[in-house]
Structure 1
Amino acid sequence: MKMNINFKVGFIIASLVLFTSCADMFDPALENIQNKDRLLERPDMVQGLLLNAYLRIPTNSFSFSEVATDDAVTNDLNSGLLNTGVGQWASDYNPLDQWTNSQSAIQYLNEMLSVVENSEFAANPVVNQMFINRMKGETYGLRALFMYYLLRSHAGVADGVLMGVPILLEPQTANSDFNIPRATFESCMQQLYSDIDKAIELLPDNYVNISNTSMMPVLYRDLGAETGEYNRVFGDDAKQLVSGRIVRAIRTQAALLAASPAFNLDNNQAKWADAATFASGMISEIGGLSGLDPNGVTWYNNVSMIENLGAGDNPSEILWRGSVGGPSNNLEQQNFPPTLFGNGRVNPSQNLVDAFPMANGYPISNPSSGYSGETPYTNRDPRLRQFILVNGSTAGPLNRTINTAQDSDTNDGLNKVETSTRTGYYMRKLLRQDVNLDPVANTGQRHLQPRIRYTEIFLIYAEAANEAFGPMSSGSFGFSAYDVIKAIRARAGVGTENGDAYLESIRSDQDAMRQLIRNERRLELSFEGFRFWDLRRWRANLTESVRGMRILNQNNYSSINVENRVFRDHMIYGPIPYSEMLKFNALQQNTGW
Structure 2
Amino acid sequence: MKKYIAIFIVIAGCVAALSSCRKYESVPVETVTPDYIWDAKDSNGVYASQYLFSIYAALPQITSNRIGRDFLDAGSDDAVTSQTTAQSITLLATNGITIFNNPDDAWASSYKGIRMATNFLNNFGAVPLKNVNEKRSWFGEARVMRAFFYWELVRRYGGVPILGDSLKTLEDNIEIPRSSFATCVNYIVNECNRAADSLRDDPVDDANYGRFTKDAARALKARVLLYAASPLYNGGNIADSLNGYDSYDANRWKLAADAAKEIMNQGVYDLEENFIDIFISQRSKEVIYAKTNTTGKTVETTNGPINYATAPGSGNTSPTQELVDAYGMANGLEINDPNSGYNPEDPYTGRDPRLGYTVLYNGAQWLNTPIQTYIGGINRPGGATVQTQTGYYLRKFMGHFENTTTYEDHYHDLIYFRYADILLMYAEAMNEYAGPSDDVFAAVEKIRQRAGLNPYALDHGISKDSLRTVIRNERHKELAFEEQRYWDIRRWKIAGHVYNDAPLHAMNIINSPNGLVYNIQPVLTTAFDESKMYFYPIPYNEVVSNENMRQNPGWQ
| Partner AA of 2:543 in structure 1 | M
- 1:415-473 C-alpha deviation (Å, 9 max, x unpaired): 444321100111111112449998xx77433334322111111111111111112122x
Identify if the C-alpha distance between structure 1 residues 98 and 246 changes in structure 2 by more than 3 Å, giving closer, same or farther.
Answer: same
Specify every segment of 5 or more residues in structure 2 that has no aligned partner in the other structure, as ranges.
236-246
After TM superposition, give the deviation of residue 549 of structure 1 in Å: 0.7
Is 1:315 equivalent to 2:315 in the alignment? no
1:247 matched residue in structure 2: 217
Is 1:111 equivalent to 2:119 in the alignment? yes
Superposition map of 1:42-121 within 5 A: 43-59=45-61, 62=64, 63=66, 64-76=71-83, 77-121=85-129
Counterpart-to-counterpart distance in 2, 1:534 and 1:30: 48
Q: 1:261 aligns with which of 225, 231, 238?
A: 231
User: What secondary structure is seen at the aligned counterpart in 2 of 1:555?
Assistant: strand
Number of aligned residue pairs: give it: 522
Counterpart-to-counterpart distance in 2, 1:575 and 1:436: 47
Is 1:5 equivalent to 2:2 in the alignment? no
2:448 matched residue in structure 1: 489
Identify if the C-alpha distance between structure 1 residues 249 and 108 changes in structure 2 by more than 3 Å, giving closer, same or farther.
Answer: same
Counterpart-to-counterpart distance in 2, 1:578 and 1:522: 34
Counterpart-to-counterpart distance in 2, 1:298 and 1:386: 10
| Partner AA of 1:3 in structure 2 | K
The answer to which of 272-281 and 110-119 deviates more is 110-119
Q: 1:527 aligns with which of 457, 474, 481?
A: 481
1:453 matched residue in structure 2: 418
* Contact 2:366 2:403 survives alignment (8 Å): no
2:506 matched residue in structure 1: 548
User: What secondary structure is seen at the aligned counterpart in 1 of 2:301?
Assistant: helix
Superposition map of 1:560-571 within 5 A: 560-569=521-530, 570-571=532-533
After TM superposition, give the deviation of residue 378 of structure 1 in Å: 1.5
1:134 matched residue in structure 2: 137
2:391 matched residue in structure 1: 424
Counterpart-to-counterpart distance in 2, 1:240 and 1:446: 13
Counterpart-to-counterpart distance in 1, 2:536 and 2:106: 10
Instruction: Using structure 2 for the length normalisation, give the TM-score.
Output: 0.88
Superposition map of 1:261-300 within 5 A: 261-265=231-235, 266-286=247-267, 291-296=270-275, 298-300=277-279
2:242 matched residue in structure 1: none
| Partner AA of 2:409 in structure 1 | G
After TM superposition, give the deviation of residue 58 of structure 1 in Å: 1.4
Is 1:465 equivalent to 2:446 in the alignment? no
After TM superposition, give the deviation of residue 347 of structure 1 in Å: 0.5
Q: 1:346 aligns with which of 291, 312, 317?
A: 317
Is 1:401 equivalent to 2:362 in the alignment? no
- 1:110-153 C-alpha deviation (Å, 9 max, x unpaired): 1112211122233xxxx3x4443222211211111111111111
After TM superposition, give the deviation of residue 17 of structure 1 in Å: 4.1
User: What secondary structure is seen at the aligned counterpart in 2 of 1:342?
Assistant: coil
Identify if the C-alpha distance between structure 1 residues 93 and 253 changes in structure 2 by more than 3 Å, giving closer, same or farther.
Answer: same
User: What secondary structure is seen at the aligned counterpart in 1 of 2:318?
Assistant: strand
* Contact 2:151 2:188 survives alignment (8 Å): yes
| Partner AA of 2:223 in structure 1 | Q
Counterpart-to-counterpart distance in 1, 2:298 and 2:13: 29
2:149 matched residue in structure 1: 146
| Partner AA of 1:331 in structure 2 | V
Counterpart-to-counterpart distance in 1, 2:452 and 2:401: 24
Superposition map of 1:345-364 within 5 A: 345-364=316-335
Is 1:572 equivalent to 2:541 in the alignment? no
Counterpart-to-counterpart distance in 2, 1:67 and 1:415: 21
1:15 matched residue in structure 2: 16
Identity of aligned residues (%): 29
Identify if the C-alpha distance between structure 1 residues 521 and 442 changes in structure 2 by more than 3 Å, giving closer, same or farther.
Answer: closer
* Contact 1:165 1:185 survives alignment (8 Å): no
Instruction: Using structure 1 for the length normalisation, give the TM-score.
Output: 0.83
- 1:31-57 C-alpha deviation (Å, 9 max, x unpaired): 343223333326433334322221121
After TM superposition, give the deviation of residue 339 of structure 1 in Å: 1.8
User: What secondary structure is seen at the aligned counterpart in 2 of 1:571?
Assistant: coil
User: What secondary structure is seen at the aligned counterpart in 1 of 2:108?
Assistant: helix
Counterpart-to-counterpart distance in 2, 1:339 and 1:442: 14
Identify if the C-alpha distance between structure 1 residues 453 and 103 changes in structure 2 by more than 3 Å, giving closer, same or farther.
Answer: same
User: Which ranges of 4 or more aligned residues in structure 1 deviate by more than 4 Å?
Assistant: 26-30, 435-438
* Contact 2:366 2:402 survives alignment (8 Å): no
| Partner AA of 2:498 in structure 1 | L
User: What secondary structure is seen at the aligned counterpart in 2 of 1:169?
Assistant: coil
Q: 1:174 aligns with which of 154, 167, 170?
A: 170
| Partner AA of 1:454 in structure 2 | Y
Counterpart-to-counterpart distance in 2, 1:521 and 1:146: 24
User: What secondary structure is seen at the aligned counterpart in 1 of 2:340?
Assistant: coil
* Contact 1:423 1:562 survives alignment (8 Å): yes
After TM superposition, give the deviation of residue 298 of structure 1 in Å: 4.4
* Contact 1:344 1:420 survives alignment (8 Å): yes
Counterpart-to-counterpart distance in 2, 1:105 and 1:452: 19
Counterpart-to-counterpart distance in 2, 1:32 and 1:435: 53
* Contact 1:297 1:524 survives alignment (8 Å): no
